[in-house]
Amino acid sequence: MGLLDGKTILVTGVLKDSSIAFHVARLAQEQGATVVLTSFGRQFRLTEVTARRLPAPAPVVQLDVTDEDDLAALADRVREHTDHLDAVVHSIGFAPQSVMGGSFLDGRWEDVATAVHVSAYSLKALAVAAKPLMGRGSAVVGLTFDASFAWPVYDWMGVAKAAFEATSRYLARDLGKDGIRCNLVAAGPVKTTAATSIPGFEQVEGGWDERAPLGWDVADADPTARTVLALCSDWLPATTGEIVHADGGVHAMGV
């Protein structure tokens, strides 16, 4: 019997098989869930190709989280494949390179606004768009990179993640009356396409394994994916507004 038998999960952010979202989708299927993916634009075809590497077929529906028409159409598009969602996984983030890599003081509002829109506001937008398909016991789970600290080179993406974490708490407040949980997983660094696009990201990941009491493998997305799916399951029914760390324990260590 799988942890997610009978569940249907919407997973965003699958691009390549190195994506954390890919491993979330793969493990979800292995644990008995039906998975629906989202993608958009030029990435859509890439997501379809990557989806073929999953253990079971997974449909891909159009969703640009910054497009109001796509958001309004999401529930109907998902209904073509299922009549409900037990969990929604937010694995979306983007900031122009001009506001990362050590150029914090030079950040222009137009670029910062893009980072906040895609990487923070989209959590609320996605939750509201998927809400018609969700009921009591459903879960929204997002991926963050601990915004308690000012990380090297992360710059305005770090600010966007701080907004993302605050957004999750407010969603937990406002969705709670409908029995919907909202939690985040603060992952350690994983070598994904998104991570490697951050100029100087090796400054963040360097030495993480040595600082982690449990150790840390930047090439292994499974620990993070497993934590996401635990929050999607029925095993944390009274947990909401929480940030669960899957980082080998680095967050709890002093310098």
Buried b (16+ CB within 10 A) or exposed e, 219-229: eebebbbbbbb
Q: Is residue 65 a known part of a binding site? A: yes
Q: Is residue 20 a known part of a binding site? A: yes
Instruction: Provide the 8-state DSSP code for 133.
Output: G
| Class of domain 8-247 as given by CATH | alpha beta
**Res 201: pLDDT:** 67
Q: Is residue 107 a known part of a binding site? A: no
Burial class (CB in 10 A: 0-12, 13-18, 19+), 214: exposed
Determine the straight-line distance between the first and last CA of the chain, rounded to whole angstroms.
42
**Res 156: pLDDT:** 97
Q: Where are the domains of the chain?
A: 8-247
Q: Which long-range contacts link 114-117 to residues 24+ away (Cβ below 8 Å)?
A: 115/156, 115/157, 115/159, 115/160, 116/159, 116/160, 116/163, 117/66
Share of the chain above pLDDT 70, in %: 96
Q: Is residue 161 a known part of a binding site? A: yes
Q: Is residue 92 a known part of a binding site? A: yes
Q: Is residue 190 a known part of a binding site? A: yes
Q: Is residue 160 a known part of a binding site? A: no
Where does residue 107 fall: left (phi above 0), alpha (psi -120 to 50 degrees), or beta otherwise?
A: beta
Q: Is residue 192 a known part of a binding site? A: yes
Cβ atoms of 252 and 244 closer than 8 Å? no
Q: What stretches in the chain show pLDDT beneath 70?
A: 193-201, 205, 255
Q: Is residue 177 a known part of a binding site? A: no
Sorted by sequence, the CB contacts under 8 Å of residue 132 that are 6+ apart come out as 75
Cβ atoms of 126 and 91 closer than 8 Å? no
The token pair at 236 is 């944390």
Buried b (16+ CB within 10 A) or exposed e, 163-199: bbbebbeebbeebeeeebbbbbbbbbbbbbebbeebe
**Res 193: pLDDT:** 63
